[in-house]
Each structure stands twice: as C-alpha cells, then as structure tokens.
Amino acid sequence: MTADFSAGAAWMKGRIIPIAEATIGVTDWGLTHSDVVYDVVPVVDGAFFRRDAYLDRFTASMQAARMDVGMTRDQIAAALHDMVAASGLRDAYCAMVAARGTPLIPGSRDPRDCANHFYAWAVPYVHVIKPDVLDQGASLWVAQNIRRIPPDSVDPRAKNYHWGDFTQGLFEAKDRGFDTVVLLDHAGNLTEGPGFNIFLVEGETVTTPDTGVLEGISRRTALEICAGMGLETRVEPLPATRLETADEVFLTSSGGGILPISRVGDRIYANGRPGPIATRARQAYWDLVRQPGYRHPVSYPT
C-alpha cells in the first residue's frame, strides 16, 4: 500500500513515514524537559528558500545546546530534501529538530548521559497569520500579564521549544479577539511573538529589537529588503511606547514572510489596512523567494 503523505511526512531514524506515524519516547528529555532546538525552512513552489541560512542557524543552535546528533550538515540537508520529495509537498513548513534524548543510564539526571537524536517533519505550508486576514487588516496584542523569558535564562538565539510564555500570551490575545501577540521584556521593550519578529516603520526608518529575540532568517531578509528600498534600518532596543507614534508595524516569519499589521491594541494604522511600506516589502519578499540564487529545488519522484 502506498503511504499517504497528504497531511505531511516525517524523517525518523533514517525512515520517511507519514507524519501521523511519527512518535517520540515518553521519557525523552525533548518531551519531558522541552530540551529541544529546532529550525524551520520554508518550501515554496518546489524549492527550499534560503536553506543554507537555516542550516547554519540550526547548527549554531545545536552547538549552543551542547547537542551532537551524529549527522553532518550535508546528511541533515539530504534528510530534509528526501523527506519533502517523498511527501510531494510543493509548499511546505519543514522542521529540523535536535532532541536531548533518553538517558542511556536509567534514572540519570545528567544531560551528558542522554543520546541526542535528530528528526524532521514537513506539513503543508503554515501561515502565522492567514493572507486573507492580512489583506483585511491583522491585529496584534501586546501582552500585559506575561513577560518574555529573559535571555540569560533561555537564550532565544538558539531556536527552542520553550513556549510557555508565548502560549500564555496567545491565550491573552485570543481572549480579547486579536490575531496574535507580542511580548515585552522586563524593561518594557518589545521582544518577539510566537514564531515572528516585529518591526516598526517610523518615517523612512525601519527598526527591529536587538535583544530577547531569535535572529530570524526572515528578519534578516526584511532588513535586506528595506535597505534595498532606500530605508534606514536599525536594530536596537525598542520601547513599547514607540508603537504609539509609529507609522506602520509589520512582522516577519518563515510562516508567511513579511506580515503587515493594521491594529495594535486600540491603535489603528494606515486606516486599518496594510501600510504602503509593509505592502511593498511583502511583495519584494515573495519576489525574492522565487529568485534562483535563493532556492534549492526539490527533486520530486516522477
């Protein structure tokens, strides 16, 4: 019987299986301690976008977490390619994961005793905010009752599964009817949200936070695009109070690229529709996604 990959595929222990069959052990520290680093590379129209940049960050995250999954970078790249090719997905959200694993010595509390391991999975392309919502006017809530985990507790530059703060922030936002949430640090500065970075447009200047955030590949792409548009780009502390005077707000994510925001709390931007700079940058992102120099095509079975 032919495997059904319509809902997605997974690569586990060298095998490619339907995502519904993928499992992780209940004693794996990746599950019991959220002791995982990961990354997500988008697949658009049959090719990985900026694959090498995502592999670079995943490798750096594993080093920061002191994990060794026993695979080379090329082997990881091949696993991702073969998995997406087998799935047949031409537009996909493709995750690569390193988990701490289960202690080889039963009962050990020493992370050095764990057998680190790699797995991957791909599902149909995920949008952090649906395109039709963006077009109509997306909304963002600034969390009031939860703060971002401090970077000296969990380093956000190593992409990880510690989402307790994001999840509580999402409940706060959804309960108030907002599409998503951004968290502040304990000094009142903007950090990031679940799966995205944030940017403010102030005149001809575009600014994004410098600390307490994942240094996103889409964030990097947006900075390059905005510089190419002739805008000044800044990476610096960004007090939440600047939301009150900004001209536009947008988010960046592998799940959608550049995402214009039309409302933050009670503040309406650009008459409740995507602003002109964010709109131009959003189109430029999707043009860039299709440029050959940024793509690694997938060789699908005939």
Q: In the predicted model, is pLDDT for residue 171 greater than 90?
A: yes
Claim: this prediction has a pTM higher than 0.85 = yes
Q: Over the stretch 83-94, which tens digit does the pLDDT of each residue have? A: 999 999 999 999
Q: In the predicted model, is pLDDT for residue 240 greater than 90?
A: yes
The 3-class secondary structure across the chain, one letter per residue, is CCCCCCCCEEEECCEEEEHHHCCCCCCCHHHHCCCEEEEEEEEECCEEECHHHHHHHHHHHHHHCCCCCCCCHHHHHHHHHHHHHHHCCCCEEEEEEEECCCECCCCCCCHHHECCEEEEEEEECCCCCCHHHHHHCCEEEEEEEEECCCCCCCCCCCCECCCHHHHHHHHHHHHCCCCEEEEECCCCEECEECCEEEEEEECCEEEECCCCCCCCHHHHHHHHHHHHCCCEEEECCCEHHHHHCCCEEEEEECCCEEEEECEECCEECHHHCCCHHHHHHHHHHHHHHCCHHHEEECCCCC
Residue-level pLDDT at 302: 80
Q: In the predicted model, is pLDDT for residue 1 greater than 80?
A: no
Q: Over the stretch 60-115, which tens digit does the pLDDT of each residue have? A: 999 999 999 999 999 999 999 999 999 999 999 999 999 999 999 988 999 999 99
Query: Which domains does the chain carry?
Result: 9-124 (3.30.470.10), 131-289 (3.20.10.10)
- Average pLDDT of the chain to the nearest whole number: 97
Overall average pLDDT of the 28-56 stretch: 97
